[in-house]
Amino acid sequence: MAKILKILCIGGSDSGAGAGIQADLKTISVCGCYATTVITAVTAQNTRGVQGIFPVSPQFIARQIDAVLSDIGADAVKTGMFSSRAAVAAAVEKIGQYRLKNVVVDPVMVAKGGHALMEGKAVGGVIAKLLPVARVVTPNIPEAEVLSGLRIRSIDDMKKAAAVIRGFGVKNVVIKGGHLALGRKTGSVDILYDGKNYHEFTADWIKTKNTHGTGCTFAAALAAYLARGADVPDAVVAAKSLVTRAIEGSLKIGKGHGPVNILVNMHHTGRIK
């Protein structure tokens, strides 16, 4: 029997099930791995936005991590929403205690509808504590602007921001270009910077407003492919391919931004060399 690869997902719950822990569970299952979860916050959320957030205490975040790792373990970790600096610190302490590898950080800051999901002090915690223990960080354009302090309007700007963010101690930076206006003409371009080389990954632009959960889905898939032994560039290619298909099959649910449909990839294994 093949080894069961386990991915620990640390993040917020989305009651609309398009993003957050619910998206992670679906994505990691599609990627052929087993997902465990640590809830950092519960949200009242639908396709129109976030109506409320109930944070979980840092102490209980740590207790959840202990429960999972003392018994089940993890081959990779994906982090998402942290509502406070103390929550970040609790997770980082446990990542160090259990010597976890393949840590993928999705620096979730704002929901699709514009609701802030992370307080200002928590951003500082991500930069100072979480990025130095991460193998990959996957900000979108607005998140990369916050992390780098730079304005991003072009692919060259993305590269400059990636260099700044890598300076915080993370090994690899993937900046997702879906928010660039030029993407409608050139396609969606993501940038990977590993400290030496820049890699560009392009996919066709898909015209839809139903893109809720793209960031969570991408980062969760990336963690799964790293656990399966892919190097970072190949894992990015596989994750981007999966997400592109999920956007193509996105669901028109609710009255706002519907979710991507990761389940169209039920038989997707990724293009890993």
Give yes or no for residue 255 having a pLDDT over 90.
yes
Does residue 272 lie in a domain region?
no
- Average pLDDT rounded to a whole number, residues 239-251: 95
Which residues, at least 6 apart from 65, have a Cβ–Cβ distance to it below 8 Å? 8, 10, 38, 90, 91, 94, 98
The number of distinct structural domains making up the chain is 1
Residue type, 130: L
Give yes or no for residue 271 having a pLDDT over 60.
no
> 77: exposed, middle or buried (C-beta count within 10 Å: 0-12, 13-18, 19+)?
buried
Does residue 27 lie in a domain region?
yes
Does residue 234 lie in a domain region?
yes
The mean pLDDT value of the chain amounts to 92
Please give the residue that has the higher pLDDT: either 119 or 229. Answer: 229
Does residue 249 lie in a domain region?
yes
Give yes or no for residue 116 having a pLDDT over 90.
no
Regarding beta strands 34-46 and 76-79, do their DSSP bridges make them parallel or antiparallel, or are they unpaired? Answer: unpaired
Q: Which of the four pLDDT bands, split at 50, 70 and 90, describes residue 114?
A: low
The model's pTM:
0.93
Report the phi/psi class of residue 127: left, alpha or beta, with left for phi > 0 and alpha for psi in -120 to 50: alpha
| pLDDT, position 187 | 80
Does residue 273 lie in a domain region?
no
| pLDDT, position 184 | 64
- Give the whole-number percent of the chain exceeding pLDDT 90: 82
- Average pLDDT rounded to a whole number, residues 233-248: 96
| pLDDT, position 179 | 73
Does residue 242 lie in a domain region?
yes
Does residue 271 lie in a domain region?
no
Write the pLDDT tens digit of every residue in 143-159.
999 999 999 999 999 99
**Domain at 174, CATH number:** 3.40.1190.20
Give yes or no for residue 18 having a pLDDT over 50.
yes
- Average pLDDT rounded to a whole number, residues 37-50: 95
Mind giving me the DSSP string for the chain?
A: -PPPPEEEEEEEEETTSSSHHHHHHHHHHHTT-EEEEEEEEEEEEETTEEEEEEEPPHHHHHHHHHHHHTTT--SEEEE----SHHHHHHHHHHHHHTT--SEEE----B-TTS-B-S-HHHHHHIIIIIGGG-SEE--BHHHHHHHH-----SHHHHHHHHHHHHTTT-SEEEEB-TT-TTHHHH-EEEEEE-SS-EEEEEE-----S--BTHHHHHHHHHHHHHHTT--HHHHHHHHHHHHHHHHHT----SSS-PBP-GGGGTT------
* Structural domain span for residue 90: 6-264
- Active site positions, annotated: 176, 211, 213-216
Write the pLDDT tens digit of every residue in 159-191.
999 999 999 999 999 999 987 866 566 688 999
- Give the whole-number percent of the chain exceeding pLDDT 70: 91
Write the pLDDT tens digit of every residue in 121-132.
788 999 999 999
Does residue 73 lie in a domain region?
yes
Q: Which of the four pLDDT bands, split at 50, 70 and 90, describes residue 273?
A: very low
- Average pLDDT rounded to a whole number, residues 3-29: 97
* CA atoms of 180 and 268, how far apart (whole Å): 28
* CA atoms of 242 and 244, how far apart (whole Å): 6
CA torsion sign, 72 to 126 to 243 to 255? positive
